[in-house]
Every structure is written in C-alpha cells, then in structure tokens.
Amino acid sequence: MRVIAGTYRSRLLVSPRGTATRPTSDRLRETLFNILSPKIEGCQFADLYAGTGAVGIEAISRGAAQVWFAENVAPAIASIQANLSALKIVRGFTIEDRGTGALLQRLAKSGKPLDIVFLDPPYEAEAEYEGTLSFFGSVRGRTLLAPEAVVVAEHNTKSTLPERFGGLEQYRRHKQGDASLSFYRVTASTPPGDS
C-alpha cells in the first residue's frame, strides 16, 4: 500500500496485521481521488472509520487543509500514527480515537464545515452506513457540510446503498471489483418530514 500522488507520492504505508482492518486498495483510492481532484486543494476532509489512514493521508498529500481521522480500534490508530510519523506529517490533521460519533460531535462544536466526507466502515456493518449517512442527510448533519460538500461511502459491490438519506442524494456510483464508491450530495429539495 502506498500514497498515490502529491507531496508523499509513492511512499509506503503500513497496516495492522491480520484481516480486521481492510485498507482501501491503491487502485480504488486512485479512482476516488481522480474523481474528487477538483475539490481537494485546501479542503476540510473527514476520513471516517479511517483504518490505516490511507485515504486521509492521500488527501493531505494532495493538498487538503485539514484531515479529521475517526478510528477507535487500537491497532488501526497505531497504524495511522505510524504512517503520519513515517511521512513526517506533523500538522493539518486531527485523530479522534473515540470513533465516528465522537468526531461528529467534535465537528459540530468546531464550526468548520466539511468539504469531503469519506466513510468506509466494515462492509458487514450495515448499521454504521445507515446511521452515518442518515446523520449527514438530517438537518443537524447537513450543518456540518459545506454548500458543495461530497459524502462518499465505500461498500461491497454486492450491497447497494439507498439512493437517498433524508436531504442527501446519491448522484454517482463507481464499481471496481468487489468494492464500490457511492457519491452523495445535499439535494436542493428536502423531503417532507426530514429532521
């Protein structure tokens, strides 16, 4: 696993031993950032369920102003810290070691809206997808998003995520082998009863 492009291009990244952490493949990360490239420079980026931190580190390498990593599994947190340390990245990031929910609470208090949110929970954790995407589709969750924000979920190709979560609507899906990326943005019209 390596950084694809930018300041830290071709630098190797480490991941925890075993299969508990499933890093986003180099090829899928390259595709993701090719699609997001016009939005990366100077952006506020959240890497939720960050695992090794490879996606957030790629964002830093390509010019993101701030990356927020959310992870609560100790070996994965150690990998994020080791990768940042090996690349000598000392600023422009925050690690929330209590996980996604704690990071979202922290961001609500910070007042800095996110430009890009990437989430990659364990593929089998359907409740995590549902909960996080529903949160960003809610009125409260949308206050954490910049006007042109993009929310991207990586998931198993065999599972199709709903096209809509409250005020969040899927506008693009990219399939690559066993993994898919679903892209969401805030819709102009909010469904009745949305909260």
What is the tens place of the pLDDT at every residue in 112-169?
A: 899 999 999 988 889 999 999 999 999 999 999 999 999 999 999 999 899 999 999 9
pLDDT at res. 19: 58
Residue 181: φ, ψ to 5°: -115, 125
- DSSP secondary structure code for residue 4 in this structure: -
Residue 88: φ, ψ to 5°: 60, 40
Instruction: Considering only residues 191 and 75, tell me which one the structure prediction assigns the higher pLDDT.
Output: 75
Residue 55: φ, ψ to 5°: -70, -45
Q: How far is CA 52 from the centre of its chain?
A: 12
Indicate the class that CATH gives domain 26-186.
alpha beta
Q: Is the pLDDT of residue 73 over 70?
A: yes
Residue 171: φ, ψ to 5°: -120, -5
pLDDT at res. 105: 92
Give the mean pLDDT of the chain. Answer: 92
- Torsional class of 151: left (φ above 0), alpha (ψ -120 to 50), beta (otherwise): beta
What CA–CA distance (Å, rounded) separates 142 from 52? 27
Rounded to 10 deg, the angle between the 54-61 and 26-40 helix axes is: 40
17 band by pLDDT with thresholds 50, 70 and 90: confident
15 band by pLDDT with thresholds 50, 70 and 90: confident
Query: Quick check: helix, strand or coil at residue 194?
Result: coil
Count the Cβ atoms, other than its own, within 10 Å of residue 132: 24
Query: Quick check: helix, strand or coil at residue 37?
Result: helix
Count the Cβ atoms, other than its own, within 10 Å of residue 124: 9
The stretch 25-36 carries a mean pLDDT of 94
pLDDT at res. 16: 79
pLDDT above 90 as % of the chain? 82
pLDDT at res. 191: 53
What CA–CA distance (Å, rounded) separates 134 from 119? 13
